[in-house]
């Protein structure tokens, strides 16, 4: 039976991806900073483990407890919306610790078993903001663009060992907690000269008339990335993501 470890399963993309793989008969190791047993359907193929991707010991414990897996999905991430002038370097480091370094650390932790078995898939969830620049997302975009570059380069060194690496790029997903989490992280401390720009950005988040990304779109893209060896390196997930990928 195939097994998958997914990070960031407490809500949004990770939670829906865990549900999706469970419904398709996979063994799912769903990891979260604060484990909750009530958010996924009970199953003898489900294990919920604590994991903080910024903590090396936490990563080691989770990977050891998970045992052999066939796929790793690096989905855990944090958001940040602010002008560069309004972002402290501590917050910059916090974003990169989770989004970038956490992804690299988790990948490094599972690669030995994939390489030795000459099989396995790493799927890294980034964002379509890496395809075109947007206001107030410079730090967040940089953290995700770094993962794109990391994944594409890593895929080359893994290919001789039969291990694949792929990217899933979601678009704007109003149903997830990204916006609320990002606002909490920035503390609403946008410098006054950028207030008008921020108002436009937040108004755009409230606009539901255009194409958007749903959590299920991301789950289905991850499914394809894991199960279809012929899929492209970058998979846009969501109607808006597909449009942006074509325009790019």
The tens digit of pLDDT for each residue in 61-100 reads 999 999 999 999 999 999 999 999 999 999 999 999 999 9
197 pLDDT above the threshold of 90: yes
- 83 dihedral zone (left: phi>0; alpha: psi -120 to 50; beta): beta
Domains and CATH numbers, the chain: 3-247 (3.40.50.720)
Average pLDDT score over residue span 191-220: 89
**pLDDT of res. 195:** 93
Distance, in Å, from the CA atom of 219 to the CA atom of 15, rounded to the nearest integer, reads 9
174 pLDDT above the threshold of 90: no
- Count CB neighbours of 122 within 10 A: 25
Distance, in Å, from the CA atom of 240 to the CA atom of 244, rounded to the nearest integer, reads 6
Task: Please report how the helices 56-66 and 102-117 are oriented relative to each other, as an axis angle in degrees rounded to 10.
Answer: 30
Read off the pLDDT of residues 122-164 as tens digits, 9 standing for 90 and up. Answer: 999 999 999 988 999 999 999 999 999 999 999 999 999 999 9
Round the CA-based radius of gyration of the chain to a whole number and report it: 18
Which distant-in-sequence residues (6+ apart) come within 8 Å of 40 by Cβ?
A: 9, 15, 18, 19, 22, 28, 30, 46, 48
175 pLDDT above the threshold of 70: yes
Instruction: Give the model's confidence band at 205: pLDDT under 50 very low, under 70 low, under 90 confident, else very high.
Output: confident
**pLDDT of res. 181:** 58
- Tokens representing 205 are 């988040």
**pLDDT of res. 138:** 96
**pLDDT of res. 218:** 98
- 136 dihedral zone (left: phi>0; alpha: psi -120 to 50; beta): left
**Whether 168 contacts 124, CB under 8 Å:** yes
Read off the pLDDT of residues 2-45 as tens digits, 9 standing for 90 and up. Answer: 999 999 999 999 999 999 999 999 999 999 999 999 999 999 99
Helix (H) / strand (E) element for 176: namely: none
**pLDDT of res. 81:** 92
- Count CB neighbours of 137 within 10 A: 20
Residues forming the active site: 140
């Amino acid at each position: 039976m195939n097994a998958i470890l997914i990070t960031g399963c407490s809500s949004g993309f990770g939670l829906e991806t865990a549900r999706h793989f469970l419904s398709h008969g996979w063994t799912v190791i769903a990891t979260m900073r604060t484990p909750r047993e009530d958010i996924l359907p009970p199953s003898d193929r489900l294990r919920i483990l604590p994991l903080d991707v910024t903590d090396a010991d936490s990563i080691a414990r989770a990977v050891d407890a998970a045992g052999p897996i066939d796929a790793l999905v690096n989905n855990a991430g944090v958001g940040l919306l602010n002008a560069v002038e309004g972002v402290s370097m501590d917050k910059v480091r916090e974003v990169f610790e989770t989004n970038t370094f956490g992804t690299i650390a988790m990948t490094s932790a599972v690669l030995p078993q994939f390489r030795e078995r000459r099989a396995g898939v790493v799927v890294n969830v980034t964002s379509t903001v890496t395809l075109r620049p947007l206001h107030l997302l410079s730090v967040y975009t940089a953290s995700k663009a770094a993962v794109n570059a990391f994944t594409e380069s890593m895929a080359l060194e893994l290919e001789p060992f039969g291990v694949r690496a792929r990217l899933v790029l979601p678009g704007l997903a109003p149903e997830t907690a990204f916006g609320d989490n990002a606002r909490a992280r920035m503390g609403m401390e946008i410098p006054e000269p950028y207030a008008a720009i921020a108002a436009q950005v937040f108004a755009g988040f409230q606009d539901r008339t255009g194409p958007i990304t749903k959590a299920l779109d991301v789950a289905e893209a991850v499914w394809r990335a894991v199960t279809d060896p012929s899929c492209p390196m970058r998979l846009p997930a969501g109607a808006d993501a597909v449009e942006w990928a074509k325009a790019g």
